[in-house]
Amino acid sequence: MSGSGGHDTTIRGWAVDPGTGHEGAAVLEVRDGVLERLVWLSGADAEGLTPGAALILPGLIDLHAHFREPGNEDAETVATGLAAAAHGGFTTVALMPNTTPALDEPSVLGRVLAAAGASGSPVRVLAHGAVTTGRKGETLSAMGELADAGVVGFSDDGAPVRSATVLRNALAYAGALGIPIVDHPEDLSLTEGAEASEGYVATVLGLKGWPAAGEAGSVARSLAVLADVVRDVPGARLHLTHVSTASSLEHVRAAKAAGLPVTCDITPHHLALADEWIAGARRWAWEALDGDGRARDPWADGALVARPYDTSLRVNPPLRSAQDAAACRAALRDGTADAIATDHAPHTEVDKHVEFGWAANGISGIETALSVVLAAVAAGELPLATAVALLTTGPARVLGARGGTAPGLRAGEPADLVVVDASGAWTPSAASLVSKGKNTPLLGRVLPGVVRLVLAGGRLAYAGD
Ligand SMILES: [Zn+2]
């Protein structure tokens, strides 16, 4: 480290830069926090530098994280969330506004940013403001003031924007401000009391089903409203977060083909885990399909290896069928989905130490996201360059200019990057996770890819051993 706090290091590895589309063996020199030199290597110089060894990626961007401050600091604080983000390779996080109080006016944003400043973390904090006051779905929040204060999106996440009329007004107002509405698609009339995705697993386990139509119907409604609004307000933009079903993704695909300004993200757990995990299966979602793309029956083929009803698997939207997870990966490959977002949702143990249907929804996922995505890459389910883009340039495009500098490995700029030992493996445990939220079904599972070094804005955010 130098006197001004900037980091000094030389890094050799396989660099992937979705900013330029370059990928290959490279050496990077960081001096006083600035990426001074990036040299692409070939021949003997590139020996041993393969995608399976050390990966050098731009710092990851998370569009969707819950840090629980203010209001539920037992589950996570801004400081612990930022430390967890850095451990996961993220150098930018966009926080969700469902805190207590909700982030529906600028003073709450001020509290969050003050906590981020006090943490000393160099990870950049962005925030979404609430669409409605108190996230009650009734009256629009102080959108203009929140825009002036710097929010990057508006969301009532945790819940959908409840009425189509409110959504219509919100899309128009936020659109005029150049800010997207980030909607959690859910038709509450179809999902009341739901515990798991409607289907075979929920039926066998006796859990109340959350039907695919509960998401796809809401997606269709929001797209129809967007189509109306965009005629008068060309800047209107809709981002659908944690989309999880094949039918929802078909709606998004058609809307994009029709030119509507819609984007969407998918979580690591929805692309890699299927609902059979609730029954006790622990194979990746791509391993749960037979050669014809049909879901294999976990009760018939000996896949059940863990105890059923593990509440770390309760999440909203729920884990879906293996076919839905395959549809999520197809959407990520073909550009229907724009980003992978963690929906990092830490909870205290007491909020999960209850019956399955009573457990709080959410998975603590910001530290395991990159490893889960690398598992999909290793299985041939996502090309490496696509996967990296979905965690960097993809989310940056969703955020637009308010998200700040576009991610990339550019000489002459502050280093914002992550170095991953792609040949290494680690096992998440209550001790190894930095987040206060230990609520992940991946505890005890060996995951590929160990984050070794994270520089955010030229400063050291994380250094492993
Ligand atoms: Zn949500």
What separation in Å is there between the alpha carbon of 99 and the centre of ligand 1? 13
Using alpha carbons only, how large is the chain's radius of gyration in Å? 21
Mean pLDDT of 183-192: 97
Q: What distance in angstroms lies between residue 157's CA and the mean position of ligand 1's atoms?
A: 5
Q: What b/e sequence results for 262-280 when a residue is b if at least 16 CB atoms lie within 10 Å of its CB, and e otherwise? A: bbbbbbbbbbbbbbbbbbb
Starting at the earlier edge strand, list the strands of the sheet with 124-129. Answer: 60-65, 90-95, 124-129, 153-154, 181-183, 238-240, 262-266, 339-340
**CA 241 – ligand 1 centroid, Å:** 7
CB contact at 8 A, 97 and 104 = yes
Q: How far is the CA of 129 from the centre of ligand 1 (A)?
A: 14
Chain centroid, CA 110 distance in Å:
24
Alpha helices in 161-283 (DSSP H): 164-177, 188-191, 200-205, 213-232, 246-257, 268-272, 276-279
pLDDT at position 362 over 80: yes
User: How many Å lie between the centroid of ligand 1 and the Cα of residue 139?
Assistant: 20
Q: Which residue has the tokens 């059923």?
A: 308
Label residue 48 exposed, middle or buried (CB < 10 Å: 0-12, 13-18, 19+): exposed
Q: How far apart are CA 48 and CA 52, in angstroms?
A: 9
For residue 156, report the distance from its CA to the centre of ligand 1, in Å: 8
- pLDDT exceeds cutoff 90 at 405: no
CA quadruple 296, 302, 306, 309: dihedral positive or negative? positive
CA 374 to chain centre: 14
The catalytic position among 17, 338, 343, 351 is: 343
Number of helices followed by number of strands (H, E) in the chain: 15, 17
Owner of token pair 């965690």: 391
Please state which of the ranges 6-10, 153-157, 175-179, 375-379 shows the lowest mean pLDDT.
6-10
pLDDT for residue 5: 59
Instruction: Note if 232 is an active site residue.
Output: no
Half-sphere exposure of 374 (CA within 13 A, CB side): 26
286 CB neighbour count, 10 Å cutoff: 18
User: What's this model's pTM, rounded to 2 decimal places?
Assistant: 0.97
Confidence check: pLDDT of 1 > 70: no
Domains of the chain: 64-401 (3.20.20.140)
Average pLDDT value for the chain: 96
Tell which residue, 127, 193, 125, 131, has the closest CA to residue 159: 131
The rounded Å distance from CA 379 to ligand 1 centre is 28
461 secondary structure, DSSP code:
E
How far does the centroid of ligand 1 lie from the alpha carbon of residue 452, in Å?
30
Half-sphere exposure of 184 (CA within 13 A, CB side): 27
pLDDT of residue 7: 86
Q: How far is the CA of 14 from the centre of ligand 1 (A)?
A: 35
At 407 the three-state DSSP class reads coil
Can you tell me the mean pLDDT for 275-293? Answer: 96
The predicted-structure confidence for 42-101, as pLDDT tens digits, reads as follows: 999 999 999 988 999 999 999 999 999 999 999 999 999 999 999 999 999 999 999 999
Percentage of the residues of the chain whose pLDDT score is greater than 90: 95
Cα separation, 135 vs 118, in Å, equals 27
Ligand 1 centre to CA of 119 (Å) is: 26
Is the predicted pLDDT of residue 4 greater than 80, yes or no?
A: no
pLDDT confidence of residue 444: 97
- Tokens, residue 202: 């929920």
Q: Which residues pair with 302 in a beta bridge?
A: none
Sign of the C-alpha dihedral computed for residues 344, 358, 135 and 190 taken in this order: positive
Tell me which residue of 405, 373, 378 sits closest to 390, measured CA to CA. Answer: 373
DSSP class per residue in 434-456 = -SS----TTTT--EEEEEEEEEE
Q: Report whether pLDDT(364) > 60.
A: yes
How many whole angstroms from 11 Cα to the centroid of ligand 1?
A: 37
Indicate the helix (H) or strand (E) that contains 15: strand 9-17
Distance 354 CA to ligand 1 centre (A): 21
Paired residues of 196 in beta bridges = 209
pLDDT at 2: 41
- Provide the 3-class DSSP secondary structure of residue 373: helix
